[in-house]
Structure 1
Amino acid sequence: MSHLYSYSAPGVGTGRGTALPAASAAENLRLTLVYFLPNYLKGVFRSRPRIAALLARADTSRHGLEAMRRLRRRYGRGPVMVRGAAGPTLLVLDADDARQVLSGPVGVYAVDTWEKVSGFAAVQPETLVASHGRQRMVRRMFNDAVLDAGCPVHRLADRFLRVAGEEAAALLGPEAVAGLRPETLREGFERVGRRCFLGEAAADDEEFSRLLAGLLAEANWMGARRWRARRTRRLRRRMMQRQARYLYEADPRSLAGLFAAAPRGPETAPECQVSHWFMALGALSAVAAQTLALLATHPRHHERATEEIRAADRTHGPRTVPGFLGMPYLRACVQEAARLWPPVTGLARRTTGETRWRDSVAPGGVNVLVPTAFHARDGERIGYAHRFAPEKWLDGTAERDWAVSPFSRGEAQCSGMELGLQLATAFVAELLRGGELAVAGARLGPGHPLPYTFDTSRLRIGIRAARTPEEGA
């Protein structure tokens, strides 16, 4: 039997709100087993590849989204109270409610949830995404300024596009012919990040990336392994010491070189914002691999993307800002891969005051979850849910749909979204320039719905130089 949470709404509407539905014990158990627990096990801050592969075989993503679909059919459009990882949580299953949360002020729908605060305590407790109030405001101003939030291209895009192209081109050759592994792509992205974020001096500093990876792996435990606290502090201290060298002698061609001119205050902690940028870039490397796999298995889309690259290169030259701006379709392919398999499957918030949900009112201090993977693949609402449809980003359909939010929306949208898309698009473009694509370890194609889960552990992206007409003969 389900339960009802009834909240009074003084001064709003009739003065009393109707009851908000709550999932039954059986429904909560099912949601925990097929959604909350799998997402925790596969790694919130850094993927655990072996566990992710096992969960993909069990198709937990599909089962989780089906469980949410059943909840919506039973309880209607409004949010449903469920038992989340951090306690009672409003599960937002309607697109209009998703827009209410994501377009709402972060002063009401705060982003510093228990999961983020607990996880980032191991990596960097003063990061933007674990901040609230004045601290968040000043840190957001700094992030927006350095990352050029909202700008179509970053002010250093000339160099950044060249760096992304160089690192992608370095992967071509015999290894690419045999098939690039996702880990290889991730390592290439890490080099891009070190060169663009910290400067050329950090290009070969694999130890920095190794230390950060260790911290992110510890963050997956969200503070549960307290006996490792001393080791974690030691790892963070070593990482910050390495990073400090690059920030002290800042390369003017890197993000570090923009720190001095960015707005800051006593609570900004500029050196503490970098870790999250690298974490986001790691997620984008998976998106790039998914984009390549989609293009390799969708010939029509692949032909259009490669034709666009050739045209942009002929007109503007490769690895240039005008060339990047001439590749909107390829950028849309990257966005579409992120929609199909979002880097973050759910956007968590906590309310700091009463919130209204049509004729119901919820008190402050309630957790709110917008399951982005559910909304992006909601076949009952969007006709392109389970197919590769980059054109929906070009015609504005996906952009207007706030429930489709692979990089969040509103005040909490990732400050580096545009920069991340620039780097990922440039990286994919360079690999497509390398020749013919082939893919192994993934069953994708235009003839049937795309899977809810993409297991990249067995993925291989093959790239070989295109044959000349003489070779083809």
Structure 2
Amino acid sequence: MGPRDVVPLGAADTARALGVLAGLVAQGAIRRRPRVTPLADRMHWDDRGVETLRTLADRYDRRPVLLRLGVRDMLVPLHVDDARAVLAASPEPFSPASAEKRGALHHFQPDGVLISPTRRRPPRRAWNEAALDTGRPVHAAAPRFDATVTADAAWIAQRALRHDDIGFDDVDDLLWATVREVALGPGARHDVRLTDELLALRGRANWSGVVPVATRRRAAFLQRLHEHVVAAPPNSLAGHGRAAAGDSSAVTSQVAHWLFAFDAARITLWRALAVLAARPALQDDVRREQPDADVLPLARAVVDETLRVWPTTLVLLRETTAPTGWGGTTLDPGTGVVLVSSYWHRDPALGPDADAFRPGTDRSAGLVVPFSAGPVVCPARDVVLHVTSHLLAALVRAVRWEPVTHPGLGHDPLPGSLAHTTVRVAARP
């Protein structure tokens, strides 16, 4: 079946669709807003957004809907085949470098692959894949990563044992130190200012189009990051990347993107730990995995399932680069395409347990895209899953975790959102 005919939305349905997008934007696409995210959780914004999109899908026979946002058209696919077609046809004619993404990411990674012009993408992508060992479940520098996360998990466990309970804010700084060491080596571990500056620039990126780029601050951040990249040892991501083939002209911007992306991994780690704390049998199963294995299948599946249930990439954005036929409609160049992750990740097409936590379940009937999909799929997927799953497994090997908040995560169905900063767990020997 070819692409379904597009349905231009009337004023009322446009307002409903814009309400869904506004709720996602309010949470912070580039940096989560600490006050808004818990509010979105309490008010069930994600659940309501999914319900709105399902209502539109039923009303229009899952045809893609087109809405007007100022001077810009936005296409929202509602059938899995249409969504897959968009992702498969990236970067041409559906470019990942949408206007929204270019405006936001320009604040801190002006030469990153995601927002590079089409002609610059292939060599930069090739370097990125070589640096990240894309397609290999275990990165060449994995032994160093594993040693880092094992030591840091022990620190978290000991802190938890000394206190009645522990939350994300209590381990925030330590997890950033983990990220800096994995990406840049031990020389960057204690450079708190590096990631503080990145967080500040990402905060401005949330207001892209409203506030200008802080060019001097960005230049100072990129220079500081460049110095770490130059000094990074071979058993770090950046050090491994220095020896990689491809276009390394944008290496500093790309490493800035790695740091940005690892923030989502930190959020996922804490959500996954919350689920394991509430599900002691599953926690025991993860604990029993071979500790020195290169790949921990169950821990990895738990991380993957956490990303499905609570995606950290709230929307996937594309933009047409040329007049593009879609059913009986021609989309103008510059038409935006929006794929709302939670709509697809909780799609009933995934099976009757779409709202349940089932690590390792085959979800190929639907569209599960925490790392995007198609030719522009995230090249860091394997690295992120490896580091996060090994850190999660090290945490449950160190102590037994119990829920302090959110004991309901032990039962299905799971809520549509989970504010990671509200999760607190306790440790027992």
Q: TM-score range by the shorter chain?
A: over 0.9
After TM superposition, the structure 1 stretch with the greater mean CA deviation from structure 2, 181-190 or 71-80, is 181-190
**2:151 maps to which of 154, 166, 171:** 166
**1:261 maps to which of 223, 236, 243:** 243
- The residue identity in structure 1 corresponding to 2:284 is E
Distance 1:86 1:194, change over 3 A: farther
TM-score scaled by length of structure 1: 0.85
**2:280 maps to which of 273, 280, 299:** 299
Q: Distance in 1 between matches of 2:344 and 2:62?
A: 13
Contact preservation (8 Å) 1:18, 1:360: no
- The residue identity in structure 2 corresponding to 1:405 is V
Partner of 2:195: 209
- The residue identity in structure 2 corresponding to 1:28 is T
Contact preservation (8 Å) 2:275, 2:410: no
Q: Distance in 2 between matches of 1:446 and 1:179?
A: 18
> 1:426 aligned to 2:396?
no
Superposed, 1:36-47 pairs within 5 Å as 36-47=21-32
Q: Distance in 1 between matches of 2:252 and 2:244?
A: 12
Contact preservation (8 Å) 1:112, 1:350: yes
Q: Distance in 1 between matches of 2:315 and 2:74?
A: 12
TM-score scaled by length of structure 2: 0.94
Map Cα deviations across residues 43-77 of structure 1 (whole Å, 9 max, x no partner): 11111111111121111111111110010001112
RMSD between superposed Cα atoms in Å: 2.1
Structure 1: give runs of 5+ residues left out of the alignment.
Answer: 1-12, 318-322, 466-473
> 1:151 aligned to 2:136?
yes
> 1:340 aligned to 2:322?
no
After TM superposition, the structure 1 stretch with the greater mean CA deviation from structure 2, 328-337 or 380-389, is 380-389
SS of the aligned residue for 1:445 comes to helix
Q: Distance in 2 between matches of 1:243 and 1:19?
A: 47
Q: Distance in 1 between matches of 2:322 and 2:215?
A: 35
Q: Distance in 2 between matches of 1:83 and 1:161?
A: 48
Contact preservation (8 Å) 1:434, 1:463: no
Q: Distance in 2 between matches of 1:352 and 1:333?
A: 37
> 1:218 aligned to 2:204?
yes
Deviation at 1:357, TM superposition (A): 4.2
- Relative CO higher for 1 or 2, CA cutoff 8 Å, sep ≥ 6? 2
Higher Cα radius of gyration: 1
Count of residue pairs the alignment pairs up: 427
Distance 1:19 1:163, change over 3 A: closer
- The residue identity in structure 1 corresponding to 2:280 is P
Contact preservation (8 Å) 2:4, 2:327: no
After TM superposition, the structure 1 stretch with the greater mean CA deviation from structure 2, 431-440 or 183-192, is 183-192
Partner of 2:256: 275
Contact preservation (8 Å) 1:185, 1:285: no
**2:294 maps to which of 304, 324, 348:** 324
Distance 1:381 1:150, change over 3 A: closer
Deviation at 1:440, TM superposition (A): 2.5
Q: Distance in 2 between matches of 1:307 and 1:79?
A: 46
Deviation at 1:235, TM superposition (A): 2.0
Deviation at 1:262, TM superposition (A): 1.7
> 1:242 aligned to 2:212?
no
> 1:435 aligned to 2:399?
yes
Partner of 1:191: 177
Contact preservation (8 Å) 2:5, 2:326: no
Superposed, 1:260-409 pairs within 5 Å as 260-265=242-247, 268-308=249-289, 312-313=290-291, 317=292, 323-325=293-295, 327-358=296-327, 361-379=330-348, 382-392=351-361, 397-398=362-363, 400-401=364-365, 403-409=367-373
SS of the aligned residue for 2:75 comes to strand
Partner of 2:43: 58
Deviation at 1:84, TM superposition (A): 5.0
